Every structure is written in C-alpha cells, then in structure tokens.
C-alpha cells in the first residue's frame, strides 16, 4: 500500500483534507504534513521530506502545490506520484507580492480575523460564498495557523521561484486538478502545468473555486482515488 503525504495551503491545517483522509485511507497511510516549519518554500519542503516516508505519493493544494513542486526538485526519486490541486507553477507577480505585503502588515497589526474574513470569499465559487460551514472552517484553520504562521507563509510564497522551467523534469503520474471558477490560481495555470508535464491528467471540477477539497469533496475524492489506485 502506498503512503500518501498531503500538504495544505496558506493558513490551512489538516482540516482542509478532512474529506480526503476518510476516502483515501483504504489505499495506504495518509499523512497531512505540517507547514509550520521553515521560512521559505525550500525550507518547508526540506522539513516535510525529513519526516516523510522513504517513498510516497505526494499531493498539495495551493501553497501546498508550491511546496510539492519544490519537493520534486529536492528529492524526485522519493515521489511515486504527484497531485497538484488549485495551484500554479508561476512565481508571484509584483502586484501579488505587494498585495501579500499589505495583508501581512494588517495581520502584524492584530487584524488576522479581519483579513481572514476578507480573503475567504475569494476562495469559494460564487454559489458557495454564503455557505457558512465553508467560511467557518477557513476562518478556524486561519486562527489555528495564527498570525505568526500566516505572516511567515505569505512571506515564503512571495519569494518562491518560477517552477515552469522544471515541469518537464517531472516524470511520475501526475494529477492536476482545479476548480472551474478558481480566481486565485485559474484553470489556465493548471492547463499550463498539464501541457508541460508529460505523464499528467487534468481535471476541472465544475461549480468549484479555490478550496476544492472542501467545496466539492466528492469530485476531488473521485479524482484522487483514481490517481492513487492507478
């Protein structure tokens, strides 16, 4: 049975994969990695590799996808298969870097709750922005990561490299999944990765935003189950 390591996104905890850990456990042990160690994407990847099984299937959502791509650079021989969910291989633009800097300033000034309330709707499909249970879980995860964790993760994201030149080096079976209305890492970013990774499969989830694992868990579980069992 294949061990699987799943990596959460920015200001997210293991709860972001709660529907997946239940669905995927028959295929092998599931670990949700901590992103609370390291000040750069490379340091986060090294910390996860330190604690990971010798060989494993790897999946990451959003920031977790950035870390997954870094793991593929650091130790590709340890990864059996790869899943990139609602993420991008591109580095931040100057405008994105500035937006993250401003959010970090607000969080440093004690406005974590207000920032979480502001950014959460953008994670969701328009049809889901009134679903209080989805809003609650995002805010709860952000609180658990805390202000220092949020600031450190945002700063790490702004410094990440452009992974596009390295995509062709990925040879393992790769699932690339994205919500059809993901405004943070739009479908064209996933199409770009799928075109560059030879052994990849692209899944676009209908009526879904950036938080696919929670918004459309059945569709995500189906895609991940097929990925793991292939």
Res 230 pLDDT > 90: no
Q: Are 33 and 5 in contact (CB under 8 A)?
A: yes
Topology of domain 4-92+157-229, per CATH? Rossmann fold (3.40.50)
Domain positions in the chain: 4-92+157-229
Residue appearing with tokens 């995509």: 167
Query: Confidence class of residue 119 from pLDDT cuts 50, 70 and 90?
Result: very high
pTM for the whole thing?
A: 0.97
Express each pLDDT in 196-229 by its tens digit.
Answer: 999 999 999 999 999 999 999 999 999 999 999 9
Angstrom distances, CA of residue 20 to CA of 8, 16, 171, 194: 12, 9, 24, 22
Res 1 pLDDT > 90: no
Task: Spell out where the chain has E strands.
Answer: 4-7, 30-32, 56-61, 79-85, 174-179, 200-205
Q: Are 92 and 176 in contact (CB under 8 A)?
A: no
Give the Cα separation of 96 and 73 in Å (integer). 24
10 Å Cβ neighbour count for 132? 7
**pLDDT for the residue numbered 61:** 98
């Amino acid at each position: 049975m294949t061990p699987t390591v799943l990596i959460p996104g920015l200001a997210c905890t293991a709860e972001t994969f709660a529907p997946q850990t239940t669905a995927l456990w028959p295929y092998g042990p599931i670990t949700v990695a901590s992103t609370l160690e390291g000040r750069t994407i490379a340091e986060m990847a090294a910390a996860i590799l330190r604690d990971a099984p010798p060989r494993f299937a790897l999946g990451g959502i959003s920031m977790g996808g950035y870390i997954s791509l870094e793991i593929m650079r650091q130790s590709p021989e340890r990864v059996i298969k790869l899943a990139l969910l609602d993420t991008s291989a591109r580095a931040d633009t100057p405008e994105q870097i500035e937006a993250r800097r401003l959010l970090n300033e607000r969080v440093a000034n004690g406005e974590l709750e207000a920032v979480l309330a502001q950014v959460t709707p953008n994670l969701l499909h328009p049809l889901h922005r009134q679903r209080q249970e989805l809003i609650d879980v995002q805010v709860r995860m952000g609180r658990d990561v805390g202000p220092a964790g949020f600031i450190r993760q945002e700063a790490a994201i702004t410094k990440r490299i452009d992974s596009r030149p390295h995509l062709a080096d990925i040879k393992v079976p790769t699932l690339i999944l994205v919500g059809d209305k993901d405004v943070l890492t739009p479908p064209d970013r996933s199409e770009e990765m799928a075109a560059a990774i030879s052994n990849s499969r692209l899944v676009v989830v209908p009526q879904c935003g950036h938080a696919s694992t929670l918004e459309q868990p059945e569709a995500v579980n189906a895609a991940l189950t097929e990925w793991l069992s292939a």
